[in-house]
């Protein structure tokens, strides 16, 4: 078994983590936490989400956060925002972002709940976005790739079918998301293996929620399958507002701890990152579920 020598840590806390916090987080606190994670070595991060604040009031300050963060970042920092539609992409680009995550679900029911349209409509808009914004790095988060709260287990055949259509739009960066945390290591190995067989020129990124305590085990399965990009969240915050039963994400600090123990490079200073976790603990009214951060809690 050959494991990757280095992986890319994609921090999604300021987007996927913060969006489920009910108390509005002050903008300056969001910026401070983001900057602390950048200082710790995080170089790829979803820093916010350009969604209708009617549905996610926590993200009403998206443009302000993006502009403040992008003022002074390392040259190799990649800032990304999530946008569920064309208008969101336009707003993200206007705020100075050059990387955008677009969301499509692998199950019809969740796509309707999440973005109020069917999958084909989402894919059609994706093609239009790619044509209008050919100069930005457009990536796709394929939600419910392992299971749906409304339809149950999602077949790998369906995942590949939708990925084929995404690739037809000219998108090569796709993240397979375990939106409600129901995946298991064997399923991860099978899905990633099938995807790599169908698309030998690409390796998908992975995003796991830790609903059933298998987030780290699933990341390990992804490593053994050759995956080198994982989306995780500071403190294990998070959950999908439109997916009943979705718990927090796999904690970034727990993955960093595992990778360090396995001598897999990630270029993040764990001690400095834990200081960012402490900022989250002290400034955000939400429970942290990360094992490492809980163990080191004063």
Residues labelled catalytic: 240
Query: Kindly report the CA angle at 291 between 296 and 225, in degrees rounded to 5?
Result: 135
Closest CA to 293 of 259, 263, 265, 252: 252
Which burial class, exposed, middle or buried, applies to 261 when counting CB atoms under 10 A from its CB (0-12, 13-18, 19+)? exposed
Distance CA 31, CA 217 (A): 31
Under 8 Å CB-to-CB from 95, ≥6 apart: which residues?
Answer: 50, 62, 63, 66, 67, 70, 81
């Amino acid at each position: 078994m050959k494991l990757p020598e280095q992986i890319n840590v994609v921090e999604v806390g300021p987007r996927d983590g913060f969006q489920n916090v009910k108390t509005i987080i002050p903008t300056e606190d969001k910026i401070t936490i983001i900057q602390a994670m950048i200082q710790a070595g995080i170089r790829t991060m979803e820093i916010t989400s350009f969604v209708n604040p009617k549905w996610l009031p926590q993200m009403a300050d998206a443009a302000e956060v993006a502009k403040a963060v992008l003022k002074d970042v390392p040259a190799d920092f990649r800032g990304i925002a999530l946008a569920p539609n064309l208008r969101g992409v336009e707003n993200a680009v206007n705020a100075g972002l050059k990387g955008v995550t677009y969301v499509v679900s692998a199950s019809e029911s969740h796509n309707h709940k999440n973005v109020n349209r069917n999958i084909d409509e989402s894919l059609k808009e994706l093609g239009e976005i790619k044509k209008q914004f050919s100069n930005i790095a457009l990536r796709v988060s394929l939600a419910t790739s392992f299971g749906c709260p409304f339809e149950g287990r999602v077949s790998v055949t369906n995942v590949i079918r939708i990925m084929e259509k995404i690739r037809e739009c000219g998108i090569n960066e796709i993240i397979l998301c375990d939106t409600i945390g129901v995946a298991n290591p064997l399923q991860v190995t099978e899905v990633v293996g099938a995807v790599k067989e169908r698309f030998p020129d690409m390796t998908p990124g992975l995003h796991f929620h830790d609903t059933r305590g298998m987030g780290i085990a699933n990341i390990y399965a992804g490593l053994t399958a050759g995956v080198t990009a994982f989306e995780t969240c500071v403190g294990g915050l998070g959950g999908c507002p439109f997916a009943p039963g979705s718990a927090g994400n796999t904690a970034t600090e727990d993955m960093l701890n595992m990778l360090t123990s396995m001598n897999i490079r990630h270029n993040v200073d764990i001690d400095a990152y834990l200081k960012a976790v402490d900022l989250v603990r002290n400034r955000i009214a939400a429970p942290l579920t990360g094992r490492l951060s809980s163990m080191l809690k004063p």
